[in-house]
Structure 1
Amino acid sequence: MLLVADSGSTKADWTFVGENGLMQKISTKGINPVFHDKAFILDELKHQFANQVQPDSVNNVFYYGSGCWDQERKMVVQDALSQLFTVARFNIKHDLEGAARATCGDQPGIACILGTGSNSCLFDGSQVVDNVTNLGFLLGDEGSGTHLGKALIRAYFYREMPADLQDELDQHFPGGKTDILNNIYRSAAPNVYLASLAQIVAKHDDHEYIRQMVKKSFSEFLNRHVCKYEGFRDLPIHFVGSIAFHFGEILEELLRKRSLTLGKIIRRPIDALVAFHIQQQAV
């Protein structure tokens, strides 16, 4: 059995493909070896997969994950998975490679992730050839859910947003500053909490102040990442992730104003990755 997985920090998609082509799809909480150790990952997956899959039937695992940018972090994930899928061969890759494969296919392009966090890469049609460093949610993650969450909190508590919007948002923060700071500074996954606030941004995306907030965040991402790649004016620029998917109209507007080429915008890359690996096995 083949297993293809794509995991961000918030959600993970797992597709099991049997020899007869039948698929079983499971969604779990996200895994990120920057925040999660082997024991946490193993316990989480044992709980999520209980009575749903036959681990010993899985012989090939292709995993694309957030935080898997070097061998040390890849091994955290592989060590956990190998205790669950004991007879499998593993191929652990960064989620950027998954985003590039799902959107660019075998053509050159720029692949971007705008989800809980953000990232980007230059893809030559077969491999990632350049990546502007991602500094994480504390220092970077421009254009992401965490970036929007931080912008929303600052605007609300610094009283920078219009009064009508301020009044509407009161209902979202009943615990005030104390609850929010506890969720950030005393949480095991503050990035996930911050990204969850992007749902509030999305709920009020018809308000001009919110639209400008999103445009500013996306513009920072384009300026600091996309526009640093060689040939960015001529290559299609693809996007993966819930933030990109929901605010696709704004992305389209910003790229059009810069005379840049918008490629695909997909919420989750898992289906394209599954199709790719099924095709590879058939070759």
Structure 2
Amino acid sequence: MILVCDSGSTKADWKYADGVHPDGTISTMGFNPVFHKEDFIKSELTKDLLPRIDATAVNHIFFYGAGCWDSELKMVIKKPLAELFPNATIEVEHDLLGAARATCGDHPGIACILGTGSNSCSYDGTTVVDNVTNLGFMVGDEGSGSFLGKMLLRSYFYREMPAELAALFEAQFPEGKSEILNRVYNQPAPNVYLASFAHFLSDQKKHFFIENLVYKAFSEFVDRNVKKYKGHLHVPVHFIGSVAFHFSDILQVVMEERALKMGKIIKKPIDHLMEYHKGPVHTV
């Protein structure tokens, strides 16, 4: 049985296939080795994943995750998986490679992630050949949900938001400045909390102020990331993630203005990753 996972910092999608029965899908919380420890990951998987799959039947695991950018961080994910799935060969890769495989397949292109965080890479059809440095949600993550959340909060508290929009914001988030800042500075996973404000943006995306805010965020992402890759005008630029998906119309405008080739926009890459790994040359 093959088990494939696409994990962001907020949620993880798992898909399994045995070649006989219909593929199965499981959702759990997301696991990021930058924020989560091995014991926590093992505990959560034992609670939420193991009851729903025969661990002894799994012989290949392909895990693509945010934060899995070096061997030490990959081991934070790999060790608990190895303990829970003793018969499996396990491959842990950065979610960028997952994005590239899900969108580009075996063809060259640029793959971008716009979800809770953001990232991008240039892909030659086999490997990631270039990656503009990702600085995380405190310094970078342009165009992401957490970045948009920060922009929204600044526009509200700096009194830049139109009055009618501010009234809607106050009705939806009555907790006020003290509680919001407490969640950002003193509670776990502030990036996920900031990204949660993207729901408000999505609900109000037809408002000119929100449309312009998202346009600025996407423009910054494309200019600081996509346009830095060699040959960026000549290959398709693909996007995965809920932010790219829900604001695809604004993203399309940003791309067209820069004469870039829009590729696929995929909310969740898990189905595409499973199809990739069902291919005989991608199984091991």
Q: In the alignment, is the contact (CA less than 8 A) between 2:114 and 2:240 conserved in 1?
A: yes
Partner Cα distance (2:13, 2:211) in 1:
30
Matching residue's letter, 2:125:
G
Deviating more after overlay: 96-105 vs 177-186: 177-186
TM-score (norm 1): 0.97
In structure 2, distance between residues paired with 1:52 and 1:132 = 38
One-letter amino acid of the counterpart of residue 249, structure 2: E
Distance 2:63 2:235 in 1: 27
1:230 paired residue number? 230
- Measure the CA separation in 1 of the matches of 2:50 and 2:261: 44
Q: Return the alpha-carbon distance in structure 1 between the equivalents of residues 219 and 146 of structure 2.
A: 15
Question: How far apart are residue 55 of structure 1 and its match?
Answer: 1.1
Equivalent in the alignment of 1:15: 15
Task: Name the CA distance, whole Å, in 2 between partners of 1:72 and 1:282.
Answer: 24
The match for 2:29 is 29
Q: Tell me whether 1:149 sits opposite 2:156 in the alignment.
A: no
The 2-side partners of 1:221 and 1:23 are apart by 35
User: Distance between the aligned counterparts of 2:232 and 2:19, measured in 1?
Assistant: 41
**Residues 215 and 197 of structure 1, relative CA distance in 2, 3 Å threshold:** same
Deviation of 1:159 (Å): 0.7
Match of 2:85 in 1: 85
Task: Using structure 2 for the length normalisation, give the TM-score.
Answer: 0.97
Matched letter for residue 156 of structure 2: Y
Structure 2 distance, partners of 1:33, 1:156, is 33
Alignment partners' CA distance in 2, 1:233 and 1:270: 27
**Aligned equivalents of 1:33, 1:9: Cα separation in 2:** 9
| In the alignment, structure 1 residue 178 sits paired with structure 2 residue 199 | no
- SS of corresponding position for 1:25: strand
Partner of 1:188: 188
* Other structure's SS at 2:193 match: helix
Structure 2: stretches of 5+ with no match in the other structure: none
Q: How does 1:130-169 map to 2 (within 5 A)?
A: 130-169=130-169
| Partner Cα separation in structure 2 for residue 186 and residue 258 of structure 1 | 40
Gapped regions of structure 1 (runs ≥ 5): none
Aligned residue for 2:49? 49
Local SS of the residue matching 1:122: strand
Q: CA RMSD in A?
A: 1.2
1:21 CA drift (Å) = 4.5
Instruction: Quote the offset at 1:51 in angstroms.
Output: 2.4
Residue 218, structure 1, aligned to residue 218, structure 2: yes
Residue type at the aligned position of 1:45: L
Task: Name the amino acid aligned to 2:196.
Answer: S
Question: What is residue 73 of structure 2 aligned with on the other side?
Answer: 73
Query: Deviation at 1:45?
Result: 0.9
Checking the alignment, whether the CA contact within 8 Å between 2:6 and 2:14 is kept in structure 1 is yes
Deviation at 1:282, TM superposition (A): 8.5
Letter of the 2:195 counterpart: A
> SS at 1:91's partner residue?
strand
Q: Percent identity?
A: 54
